[in-house]
């Protein structure tokens, strides 16, 4: 059994003239990340690792979540290959997970996340919003053979307001 939790980065700012990769979170994004992360504990597997896109907005979101779920910040793995908007690239990264890992929490970007959860989950989601949490479970012992799984839980900021 493999468990995958996908979390879209929180709302980011377009105010400063920065490269897309360097855009930080805006105040609403920070608040939404805290709100969602404080409601996910009972939906987390017993053990897991956290991977995050190394883009500023995803990294900042991962740090907020990790802090609120008491995950060691120094254990987050920041990956440049998760800075993608393409679900095929996201799928490639996920399918490369070491099979000794049962559960992965991944912080990334849209369209990749929405398209991935619609391809691999059993519930259609029109759009995974910023700070959105989607938990998928796969009846597989190997990450590279994951196929259609079960969408176990979604938590979106609007559900908590």
Task: List, for residues 119-161, the tens digit of each pLDDT value.
Answer: 999 999 999 999 999 999 999 999 999 999 999 999 999 999 7
Tell me the average pLDDT across 12-31: 92
User: Residue 138: which of 101, 93, 87 has the closest Cα?
Assistant: 101
Burial of 4 (0-12, 13-18, 19+ CB in 10 A): buried
Q: pLDDT tens digit string along 56-91?
A: 999 999 999 999 999 999 999 999 999 999 999 999
Q: pLDDT tens digit string along 22-39?
A: 999 999 999 999 999 999
- Spatial neighbors of 132 by CB under 8 A, at least 6 apart, are 7, 8, 36, 113, 154, 155, 156, 157
Could you give the domains of the chain?
2-160 (3.40.50.1240)
**Predicted local confidence at residue 9, as pLDDT:** 98
Q: Are strands 49-53 and 150-155 parallel, antiparallel or unpaired?
A: unpaired
User: Please, what is the average pLDDT of the chain?
Assistant: 97
């Amino acid at each position: 059994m493999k468990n995958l939790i996908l979390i879209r980065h929180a709302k980011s700012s377009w105010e400063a003239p920065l490269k897309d990769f360097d855009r930080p979170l805006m105040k609403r994004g920070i608040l939404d990340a805290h709100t969602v992360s404080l409601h996910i504990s009972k939906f987390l597997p017993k053990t897991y690792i956290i991977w995050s896109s190394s883009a500023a907005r995803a990294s900042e979101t991962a740090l907020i979540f990790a802090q609120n779920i008491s995950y060691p910040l120094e254990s987050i793995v920041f990956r440049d290959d998760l800075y993608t908007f393409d679900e095929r690239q996201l799928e490639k990264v996920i399918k490369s997970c070491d099979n000794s890992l049962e559960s992965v929490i991944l912080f990334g970007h849209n369209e990749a996340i929405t398209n991935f959860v619609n391809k691999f989950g059993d519930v259609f989601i029109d759009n995974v919003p910023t700070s959105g949490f989607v938990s998928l479970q796969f009846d597989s012992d190997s990450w590279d053979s994951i196929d259609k799984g079960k969408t176990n839980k979604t938590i979106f900021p609007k559900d908590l307001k």
